Amino acid sequence: MKWQKKKSQKKEKKRRFFKRKTDQESVNLLEPEQALDNQQPASDSPEDTQEVKQSEHQEIVPVKMEKKRIFKRLKERLTKSRKTMGVWGKKRLDDELLEMVEESLITADIGVETTMTIMEALNDQVRKKIITSTEQLQSTVLHELMQRLPKSEFSEDDFIYNPHVILVVGINGVGKTTTIGKLASRLTSQGKKVIIGAADTFRAAAVEQLELWAERASADIVRHKENADPAAVAFDTVQAAISRKADVAIIDTAGRLHTKKNLMEEIKKIRRSIAKKLPDAPHDTFLILDATTGQNAVSQAQLFHQALNVTGIILTKLDGTARGGIVVSIANTLDIPIRYIGIGETTHDLQNFDSELFVRALIEPE
């Protein structure tokens, strides 16, 4: 009978799903983590979830496992910062430990003011005996930090325009070109057509570097001669994106000091030139900030934002600093969401910013 057939198909689907899940979990990437699992909608019935439907056809790794893999990598890459925050070896809850926590928050660049308010909360709860163990102290720090970070639900699905034009700005050496390469790879691997515009025309080497990344990502590139007008390159990139029906156009620009007025004017000209071709573009202006520059990143962001209405921050080189707490500082001080983080120099070292994963990677012991 028809319904019986359907039922047995469903059963088979369920069996295959659990088999795949068990196979994957036997890789044992991480110990099961309750709170991490809680991030995903609970699902007792696999047929109901989209991830199952997808995995039937495309062998997509279930989201939970993917998240654990991402978390594992993030933890590895944040080792330097985690060492700063790693004060939990001490088992006794006393004034000395509280001082160590305070020092680690300051050293990690969470910001003096934020540290003070967190310490007030901790001291208060210790006094009232709400916190009575090191573990409770640790989880309260985690909670306090998490509270200060907006939950980020951004993904590439938010690149909704056709083409979605992204302008990438920032000072010299922060990782603009590298990040564009990583992002382009990410997008093309999702089946999107990507065009990159080489509007950093100051140095031939800059274009060559971008070309390499474009090649790696199987993305198209629009380039002009050295010293060409960057606004013209940007215009042509958008034009090419429209005519070649690209999903995303990403425009690289030369590093500029946020304090130099003429350079900021130049980037405004690039913006106008993009809008001339496509009136609501650029749809995103991403500011790249180098996490190793500490608090200076915050003032850079303020000035760029005033001039360009930045829609997202990408914080790079978090693998190279012990001051990963700068993320909290930036999120607290600025009204601009952190979209991605850079945690290394390879294609895979760009992650969507997930505040909970980030704080946990920062605080949790091995």
136-165 footprint of ligand GDP as x/- string (CB under 6 A): ------------------------------
Residue 317 interacting partner from ligand GDP, Mg ion, none (CB closer than 5 to 8 Å by kind): ligand GDP
Is 349 among the residues that bind ligand GDP (CB under 6 A)?
yes
- 172 touches ligand GDP (CB under 6 A): yes
Determine the size of the site formed for ligand GDP (CB under 6 A): 19
**According to CB under 6 A, which one of 109, 144, 220, 319 is a site residue for ligand GDP?**
319
339 binds ligand GDP (CB under 6 A): no
Q: Please enumerate in sequence order all residues whose Cβ is within 8 A of that of 296, keeping only pairs 6 or more positions apart, or say none.
A: none
Cis link prior to 32 (omega < 30° from 0)?
no
The interface mask with Mg ion, positions 158-197, x = CB under 5 A, is ------------------xx--------------------
Number of residues that bind Mg ion (CB under 5 A): 3
Rounded least distance, CB 342 to ligand GDP, Å: 3
The two structure tokens encoding residue 173? 């050496």
Question: With respect to Mg ion, which residue has the nearer C-beta, 174 or 328?
Answer: 174
Among 127, 182, 170, 188, smallest CA distance to 344 is for: 182
The verdict on 253 binding Mg ion (CB under 5 A) reads no
The alpha carbons of the chain give a radius of gyration, in whole angstroms, of: 23
Residue written as token pair 């047929």: 47
CA dist., res. 268 & res. 272, Å (int)? 6
Kind plus residue range of the DSSP H or E element containing 129: none
Per CB under 6 A, 223 contacts ligand GDP: no
Phi/psi of residue 323, nearest 5 degrees:
-110, 50
Q: Tell me the H-state helices in the chain.
A: 2-25, 34-38, 50-58, 63-77, 79-85, 95-107, 112-127, 134-147, 176-189, 204-217, 230-243, 261-277, 296-308, 326-333, 355-363
Stretch that binds ligand GDP, among 3-11, 58-66, 221-229, 316-324 (CB under 6 A): 316-324
Q: Where on the chain is the footprint of Mg ion (CB under 5 A)? A: 176-177, 206
Residues that bind ligand GDP (CB under 6 A): 170, 172-178, 255, 288, 316-317, 319-320, 342-345, 349
